[in-house]
Amino acid sequence: MFSSMAFCVFIHRTDSIYDDVPSERHQFPKRYLSRAQQCEGDWVVYLEPTKVKDTKGSFAVAKVQEIIPDPGNQEMYLDVIEPGTYLDFGDEVPFRDQGSVIEQGLLNDQGNISGRAQAAVRPLSPADFARIVERGLGHDEDILPRVDPDTPFEGFSEAPQPFQHLTARDRVTQITNRAIRDRNFRKTVLRAYGERCAITGLRLINGGGRAEVEAAHIRPVEHDGPDIVSNGIALSGTAHWMFDRGLVGLDDDMTVLVSRQANDPDAVRSMINVTAKLIAPQRLADRPRAEFVRWHREHVFKH
């Protein structure tokens, strides 16, 4: 039942000494076991520490499927993430905003940050979970379909309703909604690639100020591909169409491959940027993971 849900914060950094793959597992010492068990079967927020340069803050959410002993280290345990639940936030959530911490549960009676902030695994109140997810998903206009601001509304005119913050239950419903996940995935991928097509190198902005580039899953969702940046590429509409149909693919070194089954392979090659390789994100953790690239080459690309 939602009423008995419990939430946690997992601290993670890309240079972690732990065997972490946030979309799949989170490794932690035995001393945190009782805390982690509180959110087994429920949702967690991933947080990058403030001491990390250019920290992402709270950057993702996921559901813990189960907790198991680490088979390779008797002093460690693993939070196993339920497949298909991990989601990178379209808008990273800072630890502090305008002098106040987002995670209000860290404040003590004097209003200062308590020692709990140093814990790698810690409980998170439903209110804090809802607040962080609200910030991570961004404003409604970033999630809901665009509407023409000049479109008249029919019927009686009413005063605008005040904004209402959704509950933790509502936020869980949001992050499991396919349409919202797709739009959030697009935001994270386009930000990682600077709104530039990774194959052609073009960065086109339409008259409304929006990037004319799409977020492509390397391993599709229908084939168990996760909604993570490292399973995504920013592509123009044409490049996306060719990638999904296997007319272009990627080698292990990110060289763009052109299928021999393409009607006009020379024309396709002329579209590829001068490096002949994918223009990858600067952040190493955002670059395509080898297993996804290999899956696309073996199951989609037409050799």
pLDDT at 228 (0 to 100): 94
pLDDT at 14 (0 to 100): 85
Please say if the pLDDT value at position 161 is more than 60: no
User: Under a CB-based contact definition with an 8 Å cutoff, are residues 159 and 201 in contact?
Assistant: no
Q: Among 181, 178, 194, 153, which residue's Cα sits nearest to residue 281?
A: 194
7 pairs with which residues across the strands?
A: 124
pLDDT band at 100 (very low <50, low <70, confident <90, very high): confident
| 33 φ/ψ angles, rounded to the nearest 5 degrees | -60, -45
Percent of the chain with pLDDT over 90: 69
pLDDT at 139 (0 to 100): 60
234 pairs with which residues across the strands?
A: 215
Exposed, middle or buried, 48 (CB in 10 Å: 0-12/13-18/19+)? buried
Exposed, middle or buried, 22 (CB in 10 Å: 0-12/13-18/19+)? buried
pLDDT at 147 (0 to 100): 36
pLDDT at 70 (0 to 100): 96
- 225 DSSP assignment: -
pLDDT band at 269 (very low <50, low <70, confident <90, very high): very high
Q: How far apart are CA 269 and CA 248, in angstroms?
A: 9
DSSP E strand boundaries for 207-298: 214-217, 232-235, 248-250, 256-258
For residue range 271-284, list pLDDT tens digits in order: 999 999 999 999 88
Q: How far apart are CA 104 and CA 181, in angstroms?
A: 26
For residue range 194-247, list pLDDT tens digits in order: 999 999 999 877 766 677 899 999 999 999 999 999 999 999 999 999 999 999
Measured CA distances, 58 to 10, 101, 163, 207, 264 (Å): 10, 12, 23, 33, 46
- 96-100, 137-141, 161-165, 223-227: the lowest-pLDDT one: 161-165
Please say if the pLDDT value at position 56 is more than 50: yes
Triad 8, 10, 15: Cα angle to 5°:
175
Please say if the pLDDT value at position 140 is more than 80: no
pLDDT at 94 (0 to 100): 93
In the numeric block, which tokens belong to residue 8? 């946690």
Q: How far apart are CA 233 and CA 281, in angstroms?
A: 9
pLDDT at 209 (0 to 100): 66
Q: What is the number of residues in the chain?
A: 303
pLDDT at 286 (0 to 100): 93
- When the pLDDT of each residue in the chain is averaged and rounded to a whole number, the result is 87
pLDDT at 268 (0 to 100): 96
pLDDT at 166 (0 to 100): 85
Please say if the pLDDT value at position 169 is more than 50: yes
For residue range 9-52, list pLDDT tens digits in order: 999 988 888 989 999 999 999 999 999 999 999 999 999 998 88
In the numeric block, which tokens belong to residue 16? 């972690």
- Helix H, strand E, coil C: the string for 24-77 is CEEEEEHHHHHHHHCCCCCEEEEECCCCCCCCCCEEEEEEEEEEEECCCCCCEE
